[in-house]
Amino acid sequence: AHECKPIRRNLLTIYEKYFLKNVNKVLVTAETDMEYLKKKYPRHSHLDWLTIFNYPANVSPQTRRNLHHNYAIPLNNKIILYQGIINRSRGIGQLIKLIKQTKIYSAVIIGNGISKKYYMKYAKSLKISHRVHFIDKVPYLKLFEYTAACDVGWSVIKDNTLSYKFALPNKLFEYLLLGLPVIASNLPNQKKIVEKYSVGELVDGNNLNQQIQAVNKLSKQKNHKTNYQNIAKKYFTWDAQHNKFLQIFND
């Protein structure tokens, strides 16, 4: 609703207020969402607010894609991965600029979206199509075969709307589960995860030099994949909260 035009946004608020009187529990995917909604609907004191995070299942891919071979990526190039919807304000343009400004990285961008053709043309205009590889959306479990073959996960979201400001995307946890450190924008929910568990580097969404420095730092790490996987398996998989989810329906 935060990206809607004002009239539509106001109509949705009226709609929500009306039907909330018939609701007992509200599930949110981040504490910041809960805080915002409680302030937005202060009169609905009967609501029971609960947080259920978008954690992935505890998966281990049976195979790992050979991206260096399949996409002619030089063996000495580290692979930076973006997976998800390909729209504006998701840091994809920044990732392409980073590839242009460096020599030792290639990007793999997996997914579809309304801005995909735009970014493909953008990479071509910068003459780096050979180092920015676009892959169509793949089935969810197959996706992890690609994730596991990369080196750094990209989760750089620009703070253009309230929705983006409070973003805590699934991809952040998927990267970690497959052993990838993350480059994440310095926004409240991502910052909390990255700082508390030391699983990557925080950057400003528009600061290319800072992003390059962050990737350089992470790419120098040796044999840390298992560490990130262990952290994710302990704290960031559905196993960590499925009992809480089931309890909601039993109360």
- Give the model confidence (pLDDT) of 2-11 as tens digits: 445 677 777 8
Which pLDDT belongs to residue 2?
Answer: 45
The model carries a pTM of: 0.88
CA angle 128, 213, 226 (to 5 degrees): 95
Which pLDDT belongs to residue 212?
Answer: 98
Q: What separation in angstroms does the CA of 195 have from each of 77, 126, 188? A: 27, 34, 11
Evaluated on CA atoms 116, 7, 15, 51, the torsion sign reads positive
Torsion of CA 120, 126, 130, 136, to 10 degrees: -10
Which pLDDT belongs to residue 158?
Answer: 82
Which pLDDT belongs to residue 183?
Answer: 97
Output phi, psi for 79, to 5 deg: -105, 120
Q: Which residues contact 162 (CB under 8 A, 6 or more apart)?
A: 2, 36
Which two tokens mark 20?
A: 């909330």
Detail the DSSP E strand segments found in the chain: 25-28, 48-51, 78-83, 105-110, 132-135, 152-155, 182-185, 200-203
The whole-angstrom separation of Cα 136 and Cα 183 is 22
pLDDT beneath 50, residues of the chain: 1-3
* Cβ neighbourhood burial of 216 (10 Å; 0-12, 13-18, 19+): middle
The whole-angstrom separation of Cα 63 and Cα 59 is 12
First-residue to last-residue Cα distance in the chain: 30
